[in-house]
Amino acid sequence: MKTIWSVASFLAVVNLLAIAMFAGWLWQTKRLSRERLDDVRSIFAMSVPAQKAAGAEADRDAEARRQEQQLRERRQKPPLSSAAQIGLLSEGQEQTQLWIEGLENLKKQFRQQIALSAEQLEQERLAFEAERRRWEQRVEAEDKLRSDAQFKKAIKILETLPPKQAKAKIVELVETGRTPQAVAYLNAMSPRAASKVLSEFKTDQENQLATELLERLRTFGTRKGIDPAEASSNADTVANSQ
């Protein structure tokens, strides 16, 4: 009996030393702390049914606090009634309609501005065309005056030339393809001066040309007049050849 007690005591001491060494190892390796000991103590301080009851009580307290918070929030900002919701919806629709009407007015203003700009451009174009026509008319009138002056100068020179020289000028015009110009000169000359020029046509070929010129003189009034630019150019040729 004494031997058994000695063996049991030895084993108890060995287990105690092992537990102490294990606890020391846990403490040195930071796997055991005072907080963890308190947690272990709290775990074993309450039975499993009591722990479940405490958890359920904590859940009920959390739900009660959540419901109280919701109630407090609803009191501070109560939900809108149906009438209020309809009012807000109507107000939103009115704002949308106002926005659409504003866009339509803006589009209308843009169309009016575009139409006004187009009308102004058309007026400016018409004014430009009118100014261009007036300018062309002024240029045409100035050209006509200059051509008439040169034409009269050429006629005067032909009438003052000896008939033989005047005849040479007429023949030169015919030979260079300007017969209508020659006829116009003869038509503008005085009948006496024109007769003297035609009387200088002596040969058969010249007489044939004189006959053709007389025939053209007869029908000159029924034909289209000479071009002013051509008259001026030819008049300058006659005037400058003297």
Q: How many residues does the chain have?
A: 242
How many Cα atoms sit within 13 Å of 241 on the Cβ side?
A: 17
Phi/psi at 59 (5° precision): -65, -40
pLDDT at 143: 57
Q: Residue 238's pLDDT band (boundaries 50, 70, 90)?
A: very low
pLDDT at 141: 59
Alpha helical stretches, state H, the chain: 2-28, 34-45, 48-76, 82-160, 163-175, 179-188, 191-198, 204-218, 228-240
Q: Is 80 left (phi over 0), alpha (psi -120 to 50) or beta?
A: beta
Q: What is the pLDDT of residues 120-168, one digit of tens each?
A: 888 888 888 888 888 787 666 555 645 678 888 888 888 888 988 888 8
Looking up tokens 């009634």 gives 81
Q: Residue 224's pLDDT band (boundaries 50, 70, 90)?
A: very low
Q: What is the pLDDT of residues 91-123, one digit of tens each?
A: 778 888 888 888 888 888 888 888 888 888 888
Q: Please provide the average confidence, as pLDDT, over all residues in the chain.
A: 76
SS3 209: helix
Residue 185 CB coordination number (10 Å): 26
d(CA 151, CA 166): 15
d(CA 124, CA 150): 38
Q: What pTM does this model have? A: 0.35
- Residue 166 class from Cβ within 10 Å (0-12 exposed, 13-18 middle, 19+ buried)? buried
d(CA 183, CA 193): 13
